[in-house]
């Protein structure tokens, strides 16, 4: 799998994070410069899923809404924004957008708070496809979400020898969090998991920060447990050089015997870490 065919993205912990999944026209998080980087692609976005209200995940949203309204392009398609129920910072941002765009928007903008387990049907796609929200542990006392996309595919059931239409997990996005509690039903095709730190620094970082994030090692352990087909590590701290990061990730893959493909999202690039034929 070449994930850069499916995604346009930017990811750097603290600065900005967003992933645009082209096949489903969904944007996951909306950090700074998302509209600038996507250009005309902003008109393709149908849904935005926000994981939580930290600046690096939402600060591009107001600009995205405005550019999608004023730039030359088909600006009549509605835009849905989904966010964790009760997140006060996202609600404040939505209030700003509502006030600023009052009476000016040429398309319908819907904002909907969602809870873990809520499912959103992507009814603009040919194949039945849905997004399920799940909870992650990130900000104490506040709901933070990750998201999984399931798409109906026709698979051959070897036991009964018939082709069956079954929902397959095609995409997983962890948001921020030190533990993804969610297990997709089956091997997820593409999982994007945050990996802010290396394990060696967890002891030296301020406790409250280290406890809110995954490490390269714990993210790879998770992907090994879930037998992910293609893993992308993201939200990596800029304290690490690319070489240092890739070396630690290769060691963790070797240690855990992860058998899928692995990449690291560093700024706007998605870089291969290791690839094995038998994935």
Quote the CA–CA distance of 173 and 47 in Å, as a whole number.
Answer: 14
Binding track, positions 134-173, relative to Zn ion; x by CB under 5 A: ----------------------------------------
**Beta strand segments in 85-197, E:** 109-114, 119-121, 129-136, 144-157, 162-173, 191-194
Which residue in the set 21, 47, 54, 229 belongs to the binding site for Zn ion (CB under 5 A)? 54
Quote the CA–CA distance of 24 and 45 in Å, as a whole number.
Answer: 9
Cβ–Cβ under 8 Å, residues 37 and 10? yes
Quote the CA–CA distance of 148 and 130 in Å, as a whole number.
Answer: 8
Which residue in the set 176, 217, 226, 261 belongs to the binding site for Zn ion (CB under 5 A)? 176
For Zn ion, the closer of residues 54 and 229 by Cβ is: 54
Q: Segment near Zn ion (CB under 5 A), from 16-24, 71-79, 102-110, 174-182?
A: 174-182
226 binds Zn ion (CB under 5 A): no
Determine the 3-state secondary structure of 82 from DSSP: strand
For Zn ion, the closer of residues 135 and 176 by Cβ is: 176
For Zn ion, the closer of residues 150 and 176 by Cβ is: 176
For Zn ion, the closer of residues 145 and 230 by Cβ is: 145
Quote the CA–CA distance of 277 and 174 in Å, as a whole number.
Answer: 26
CA angle 5, 17, 61 (to 5 degrees): 100
Cβ–Cβ under 8 Å, residues 264 and 271? yes
Q: Segment near Zn ion (CB under 5 A), from 48-56, 121-129, 181-189, 238-246?
A: 48-56
What letters, b where the CB count within 10 A reaches 16 and e where it falls short, cover 25-63? bbbbbbbbbbbebbeebbbbbbbbbbbbbbebbbbbbbb
Least separation in angstroms between CB 255 and Zn ion: 27
Q: Segment near Zn ion (CB under 5 A), from 65-73, 115-123, 176-184, 242-250?
A: 176-184
> Binding to Zn ion (CB under 5 A): which residues in 249-268?
none
How many residues bind Zn ion (CB under 5 A)? The answer is 2
Least separation in angstroms between CB 44 and Zn ion: 26
Q: Segment near Zn ion (CB under 5 A), from 51-59, 61-69, 193-201, 267-275?
A: 51-59
**Residues near Zn ion (CB under 5 A):** 54, 176
């Amino acid at each position: 799998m070449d994930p850069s065919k499916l995604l346009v993205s930017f990811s750097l912990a603290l600065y900005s994070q967003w992933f645009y999944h082209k096949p489903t026209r969904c944007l996951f998080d909306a950090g700074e410069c998302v509209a600038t980087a996507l250009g005309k692609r902003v008109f393709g976005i149908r849904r935005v899923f926000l994981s939580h209200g930290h600046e690096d995940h939402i600060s591009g949203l107001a600009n995205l809404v405005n550019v999608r309204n004023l730039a030359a392009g088909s600006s009549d398609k509605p835009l849905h924004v989904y966010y964790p129920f009760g997140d006060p910072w996202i609600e404040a941002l939505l209030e700003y957008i509502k006030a600023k765009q009052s009476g000016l928007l040429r398309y319908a903008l819907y904002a909907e708070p969602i809870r873990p387990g809520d499912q959103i049907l992507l009814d603009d796609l040919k194949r039945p496809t849905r997004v399920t929200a799940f909870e992650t542990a990130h900000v104490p006392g506040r709901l933070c979400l990750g998201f999984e996309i399931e798409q109906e595919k026709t698979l051959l059931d070897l036991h009964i020898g018939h082709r069956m239409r079954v929902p397959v997990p095609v995409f997983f996005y962890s948001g921020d969090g030190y533990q993804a509690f969610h297990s997709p039903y089956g091997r997820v095709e593409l999982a994007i998991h945050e990996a802010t730190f290396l394990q060696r620094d967890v002891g030296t970082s301020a406790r409250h920060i280290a406890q809110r994030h995954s490490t390269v090692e714990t993210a790879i352990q998770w992907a090994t447990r879930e037998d992910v087909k293609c893993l992308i590590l993201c939200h990596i701290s800029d304290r690490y050089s690319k070489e240092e990061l890739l070396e630690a990730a290769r060691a963790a893959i070797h240690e855990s015997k992860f058998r899928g493909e692995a990449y690291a999202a560093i700024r706007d690039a998605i870089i291969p870490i290791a690839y094995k034929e038998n994935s």
